[in-house]
Amino acid sequence: MAESWATFGRDLHLDLTGPGGVRAALTRALREAVRTGRLAPGTRLPSSRSLAADLSLARNTVADAYGDLVAEGWLTARQGSGTRVAHRAVPHPAAVRPAPPERDRRPAYDLRIGTADVSAFPRSAWLAAGRRAISAAPNDAFGYGDPRGHPVLRAALADYLARARGVRTEPARIVVCAGFMQGLAVLGRVLRARGVREAGVESYGLWLHRDVLRRAGLRTVPLTVDEHGARTEELTAHRGVRAALLTPAHQYPTGASLHPDRRAAVVDWASRTGSVILEDDYDGEFRYDRQPIGALQGLDPEHVVYFGTASKSLAPGLRLAWMALPGHLADEVAEVKAAGEWGTGTLEQLTLAEFIACGAYDRHVRAMRLRYRRRRDRLVAALADRAPHIAATGIAAGLHAVLRLPPGTEPSAIEAAAWHGLAVEGLNRFRYRAPGAPPTTPPAEGPDALVIAYGTPSEHAFEGVLEALLRSLPGPVQAASDGS
């Protein structure tokens, strides 16, 4: 018998199974709760009458169990103050494990993959939007809701995406999801169910996303990435490929934007072959040198699934993302999503809808764009000053930069960064690998570089991060002497 105890303002799970009858089981369960710290010293226990009522036991059984534990010194019973957990040295769970050795500490700064600077999360504006949205929400907003997402959010997103990203859609074609990862997983399943077997992916990209497609049963086919983005013309050489996952606005992680000729060609390929392009627009709002590049989806809404996310614009902890789907996919995607993970919390959705509608989303993005651009400029200036042999590329947009290193120095630069308390990822980590291939490959396979998520640290930490990074970078390669 497992019971939940909810009588004195807190729940305590007591497992009353085991040998020796109910009194022994209750005594054992309470002793364990005290011993492991789940019941803190000084905690007042419920009266034997109310605990007995909660657990459907005889009052005497509880009184006897309390008596046993008082006798053992785990509890104290005093006239007027009831039964309490005794003040005695109880090992805290954390104290049981030995402290990690000094070298195993987490890095002071983590510049891997990259999130928004979450210290800048607009807490007050978000709370204000939430208060307004939840106060005004009708009762049915607290029900299960629509697996496609709340209509109010889908309407706000359709407006925003058309205005800010050039997406051509309507609320009925938008599906809200718990992050890009979930949306991609659902799309992968839908495409596989439709008979798609192979998907093109960029030869540099996030391994997590390749794995999502593979888990959906799709074989991934790498497309070469160069300074103009993915070589989408390679798709025509793979007759079985009927889907392509791309990051057109800002290739992840190299930072290239897809060349206009390739944009046109890939859309042409999709409509000619009846294929689907999955457009991952993860940081499309953050472009610094000119207007953000519009979404590829705008060129052909019937063959491109547009994915946006709040992970870079607000915070990944929200787990809020959205897809704008071709008409022929919208219902099926909603059905597959409903059959699996259903939805994202409606209250967060309504808050985001209000956040967008009142202009706070635009204000936040504009403020963050300025902040990230300043950081990027500081990084570029610091490199020019202290490590002019290292170029930062892919920096016209986004929250990360690629620092090109002298050949063969990527592994040692990662180690040096770790020594300075910085966790960084090398470019080779993002290279396409066949399923099951080892995570590390000889640096000779691709150019040596570090992917630096300069957007992640909080503002006050950035100076320290920059200094540690500069100290980690390899020096210039000495020109070989010709001996003359």
Ligand X SMILES: Cc1ncc(COP(=O)(O)O)c(C=O)c1O
Given the rule CB under 6 A, which residues bind ligand X? 179-181, 206, 247, 252, 280, 282, 309, 311-312, 316, 321
Structure tokens that stand for 27 in this block = 């005594």
Ordered alpha helix ranges (H), 19-89: 21-35, 48-55, 59-72
The nearest distance, CB 62 to ligand X, in angstroms, is 48
Q: Of the two residues 65 and 452, which places its CB atom closer to ligand X in the complex?
A: 452
The nearest distance, CB 479 to ligand X, in angstroms, is 38
The nearest distance, CB 33 to ligand X, in angstroms, is 38
User: Distance (Å, rounded) from C-alpha 392 to C-alpha 123?
Assistant: 33
User: Distance (Å, rounded) from C-alpha 420 to C-alpha 271?
Assistant: 50
Q: Of the two residues 27 and 220, which places its CB atom closer to ligand X in the complex?
A: 220
How far CA 290 is from CA of 141, 164, 235, 259, in Å, comes to 40, 14, 30, 16
The nearest distance, CB 252 to ligand X, in angstroms, is 4
Q: Of the two residues 298 and 398, which places its CB atom closer to ligand X in the complex?
A: 398
Q: Of the two residues 117 and 280, which places its CB atom closer to ligand X in the complex?
A: 280
Q: Of the two residues 321 and 405, which places its CB atom closer to ligand X in the complex?
A: 321
Q: Of the two residues 46 and 205, which places its CB atom closer to ligand X in the complex?
A: 205
- Where b means 16+ CB within 10 Å and e means fewer, 424-456 reads bbbbbbbbbbeeeeeeeeebeebebbbbbbbbb
Q: Of the two residues 311 and 351, which places its CB atom closer to ligand X in the complex?
A: 311
Q: What φ, ψ does residue 274 adopt, rounded to 5°?
A: 70, 30
Q: Which amino acid is at 431?
A: R
Q: Among residues 350, 345, 288, which one has the least CA distance to residue 138? A: 350
Q: Of the two residues 64 and 341, which places its CB atom closer to ligand X in the complex?
A: 341
- Where b means 16+ CB within 10 Å and e means fewer, 129-160 reads bbebbeeebeeebeeebbbbbbebbbbbbbeb
Other Cβ atoms within 10 Å of 59 Cβ, number: 14
The nearest distance, CB 253 to ligand X, in angstroms, is 8
The nearest distance, CB 52 to ligand X, in angstroms, is 49
User: Distance (Å, rounded) from C-alpha 161 to C-alpha 310?
Assistant: 13
Q: Of the two residues 280 and 425, which places its CB atom closer to ligand X in the complex?
A: 280
User: Distance (Å, rounded) from C-alpha 476 to C-alpha 484?
Assistant: 22
The nearest distance, CB 439 to ligand X, in angstroms, is 18
Which residue is closest to ligand X by CB?
179
Sign of the four-CA dihedral 383, 388, 389, 395:
positive
Q: Of the two residues 247 and 428, which places its CB atom closer to ligand X in the complex?
A: 247
User: Distance (Å, rounded) from C-alpha 281 to C-alpha 33?
Assistant: 49
Sign of the four-CA dihedral 178, 179, 183, 189:
negative
* Distance from chain centroid for Cα 196: 27
Other Cβ atoms within 10 Å of 170 Cβ, number: 14
The nearest distance, CB 209 to ligand X, in angstroms, is 7
The nearest distance, CB 282 to ligand X, in angstroms, is 3
The nearest distance, CB 296 to ligand X, in angstroms, is 15
At residue 147's C-alpha, the angle toward residues 145 and 150, to 5°, is 55
